[in-house]
Structures are given as structure tokens and as C-alpha cells.
Amino acid sequence: MAELVRRSEDPDVEPVYEGGFRKITYGFVTQTFGEDGKCTGQEFVAGDQCEFEDVDGESIDEQDEEYQPYNMVQPGVDYYYLQMYELVSPILCGPWPTKDERDAEMDKAREDDYEWDHTFHDFELPKGTPVDFV
């Protein structure tokens, strides 16, 4: 079993388990399907029952933890492209619901950009993935 480690001299600060811990939440998954039988969305409905274990899988008492939403990857993908000039000033374009729509927009941007030396990089991400870069 992982050892409790005191990280502060303050007696009000609870000791933590070395290596962290796992929270197991029981609940239900609700999936929605279209007429074609393909999944169009899903959500996790958390129940009230939770168990905690240390990194070795041993049961431990309930722990204080930072809230973490139960985000689930949604079916399908979003289509993007990244437009770059000499590896600086990236411009993220998208998302588009289909590859064909993304490719058409990327081709149009290439035509409009014939005087500049931009590169274009196409990619897909699971639907609903937050995209943020600096």
C-alpha cells in the first residue's frame, strides 16, 4: 500500500498518498444513434457511488480532489488545417464537418495565397476536442 506523505508542516493540510490516487465513479453512459445506426453523441451520467484507491490498487478513504469534468470523446472528427508562413504566425482554420469541405476551403486559401510562401497542413481531431495553441 502506498504511504501517506505529509507535504506541509501545517496540521490543517491533510497528508497525501505518495504517487497519487484513483477515483472510481459509478454511473451510466447514454448513447444516441442516428437512423443509419451510427453513434451521434454520448454522455456519462455520474452516480453518487465513488471509491478511492492508491496507485497500487488498494482501497483508501475518500480524498479531496480538484473537480474534473467527465468529458467523453464524441464520435466523429472535426477537420482543420493549419496555415503557416516560415514556421511563424500559424493560423488555425476550421473546424469543418467534412473532409471535402475542409479541402475545398484549403484549396481556395492556397489560390488566394499564391504570392506568399505559406504551407498548409491538414489534420483531424476527435469531435469536440478543445484546440488551443500559442
The grid coordinates listed for 16 are 497525501
Which residue ranges make up each domain of the chain?
Answer: 4-60, 77-126
**What are the pLDDT digits (tens) for 40-90?**
788 888 888 999 998 888 888 888 888 877 776 667 788 888 888 776 778
Does the pTM surpass 0.85? The reply is: no
